[in-house]
Structure 1
Amino acid sequence: MRKNTYIFLSLAMLLMFNCKSVKTVKEGEANYNLSTRQLIKANAQKEANFKTLQSRLKITFSQNGKSQTHSVNFRAKKDEALWINASFSVIRALVTPEKVSFYNKLDNTYFDGDYKYLSELLGTELDFNKVQNLLIGETLFNLKSSDYTASVDEASYIVQPKAQRELFEIFFLLNPSNFKVKSQRISQPLKLRHLQIDYITYQEINEQILPEQIKVIAVEANEETIINLEFKGVSLNEDLRFPFKIPSGFEKIEL
């Protein structure tokens, strides 16, 4: 993958949780008898509902047999901003519906642009809402019962478009116990690209069911990148600031 892939993928994986009275969500009684319409309605009723979020985010990045781990501070204002800050503000980023921005003090560079790079990298058209939904355990694409069909296989509901798109295929696996997303899979067979987001565990925070651990696998040809995310110390609905200013003299990254 190209230079700065780690930073961009990390930006794409920003949003998550864990707070004072956190409980890992355990499997309840499975219900395999829902129609597609009922299933999509049940999934929609579990949608995360918060105004702001603050947490520590542990990111483990693996590529070409090498692995590195980073812990960052993360803040979010739902539907408006995602903010990340590494220790000593070495790397700081701000993602909004309009653009993606970050700077890196290790090499005095910055980026300030749109979602084009992320869209090309992950093999599907991305915007702020898609990135946010992906990270909080919601389906990347809005589910409508008239456009999707559901079946049961290997202890999961499999939701897919009634007619798959010409250039890429989409599959959502939903948990039959709590109707949250277990996995999202988007493939571009002709370009040998595959993106898989697995929600390893969920946690209950202030009566919200939110991801606790996420594993992201991005494959392009014979190159595989794996990102594991773990979200700790989350607090919800506090007054938060999102400071961001690109230092003077930094060189802009051109993609």
Structure 2
Amino acid sequence: MKKYILLLMASALLFSCKTKTVTNVPIGTANEIAANAVFFSKIKEKSNFEQLKINSRVNIENGNFIPTLDATIYIENGQKVWMNMIAIFLNVGRGIATPEGIKGYEKWNKTYIESDFSYLNKLLNVNFIDYNSLQNLLLGKTFVPINEKDFILTKNAQGYRLTSSKNLKFENNGQTSEYRVIMDYSPDFDLNQVQLEDKNKTNQLEISYFNWTGFDNMKLPKNVKIIIKGTKTSQIFLENTRFESSKMDTPYSVPNNYTKTEIR
């Protein structure tokens, strides 16, 4: 239980309807775009909202039975991501992420966790997720560190494609990982898909965003699909059913008699 609670926060991880099949249209090869300042300016734009409440239905497939979860995700821009989860009308867990790290507890096994972002990176098979990356991931914004000189930008009828010109190195806590990265965007600069594959082709992360909608001077994805491939494959599907901009209380305290789970 603790693993998929934290997976959700890493992806809070994460927005796609389980019953809907989406066929991705391959983006063919196109000529490289030399004058790309507008593109990079658009995909690097920072969010300027104050707070956002998202109601979501979450389905997780990892080889074990996990009931559909109803999640409330509340984001205060640059400060915190708070999540509360309910299954079959029962509260099953709660978590919060801040720039300092993550906390979460689950009621089925009465355990809780406190960690920096290294655990979320491990779950996603990457090595660069911090608070800002997590928030951007949830909002469908570019969450992979971008240095223009490390990418090739092409354009065709489906939109734009960013391809890493070399393996990108992510360093964290003395460990280095190298990934080939491909990111597809719509003609309106909406992020459609992110693919990361490690240099040994043993770990992959793929996140797809669908059904973008306008809300409060923002564009947000109503559906997200996250596929994590390693020794086994896990999938997370989130369907966002409602967006609100009102403030809300975000209580968090670990109940008595819960056991702390150590991160390894």
TM-score (norm 2): 0.80
Question: In structure 2, the residue corresponding to 1:39 is in which secondary structure?
Answer: helix
- How do residues 222-233 of structure 1 correspond to structure 2 at under 5 angstroms? 223-233=232-242
Give the Cα–Cα distance (whole angstroms) in 2 for the partners of residues 165 and 143 of structure 1. Answer: 10
Give the superposition deviation at 1:201.
Answer: 1.5
Question: In structure 2, the residue corresponding to 1:101 is in which secondary structure?
Answer: strand
Question: In structure 1, the residue corresponding to 2:148 is in which secondary structure?
Answer: coil
Which residue is equivalent to 2:172? none
Give the Cα–Cα distance (whole angstroms) in 1 for the partners of residues 140 and 104 of structure 2. Answer: 24
Q: Counterpart amino acid of 1:121?
A: L
Give the Cα–Cα distance (whole angstroms) in 2 for the partners of residues 150 and 208 of structure 1. Answer: 25
Give the Cα–Cα distance (whole angstroms) in 1 for the partners of residues 194 and 63 of structure 2. Answer: 23
Give the superposition deviation at 1:52.
Answer: 0.5
Aligned residues: CA RMSD: 2.4
Q: Are the aligned partners of 1:80 and 1:96 in contact in 2 as well (CA < 8 Å)?
A: yes
Which residue is equivalent to 1:7? 5
Match of 1:209 among 205, 216, 219: 219
Give the Cα–Cα distance (whole angstroms) in 1 for the partners of residues 116 and 210 of structure 2. Answer: 30
- How do residues 1-255 of structure 1 correspond to structure 2 at under 5 angstroms? 4-14=2-12, 35-45=35-45, 47-64=46-63, 68-87=67-86, 88-125=90-127, 126-152=129-155, 155-165=158-168, 167-176=178-187, 178-190=188-200, 192-221=202-231, 223-236=232-245, 238-255=246-263
The one-character-per-residue Cα deviations of 1:101-146 (angstroms, maximum 9, x if unpaired) are 1111211111011111221221222211111111111112243434
Which residue is equivalent to 1:28? none
TM-score (norm 1): 0.83
The one-character-per-residue Cα deviations of 1:124-169 (angstroms, maximum 9, x if unpaired) are 2221111111111111224343443201367231113333226211
Give the Cα–Cα distance (whole angstroms) in 1 for the partners of residues 166 and 259 of structure 2. Answer: 45
Q: Are the aligned partners of 1:36 and 1:149 in contact in 2 as well (CA < 8 Å)?
A: no
Give the Cα–Cα distance (whole angstroms) in 1 for the partners of residues 13 and 203 of structure 2. Answer: 24
Give the Cα–Cα distance (whole angstroms) in 2 for the partners of residues 217 and 35 of structure 1. Answer: 33
| Larger displacement relative to structure 2 (105-114 or 183-192) | 183-192
Which residue is equivalent to 2:173? none
- Seen in structure 2, the aligned counterparts of structure 1 residues 80 and 64 have a Cα distance that, compared at 3 Å, is same
Q: Are the aligned partners of 2:207 and 2:226 in contact in 1 as well (CA < 8 Å)?
A: yes
Q: Counterpart amino acid of 1:129?
A: N
The one-character-per-residue Cα deviations of 1:30-87 (angstroms, maximum 9, x if unpaired) are xx97832222123345x54311011211111112385631112221111111111123
Task: Give the total of aligned pairs.
Answer: 235
* Runs of 4+ with deviation above 3 angstroms: 32-35, 65-68, 142-147
Q: Counterpart amino acid of 1:145?
A: E
Q: Sequence identity of aligned pairs in percent?
A: 23
- Seen in structure 2, the aligned counterparts of structure 1 residues 67 and 86 have a Cα distance that, compared at 3 Å, is closer
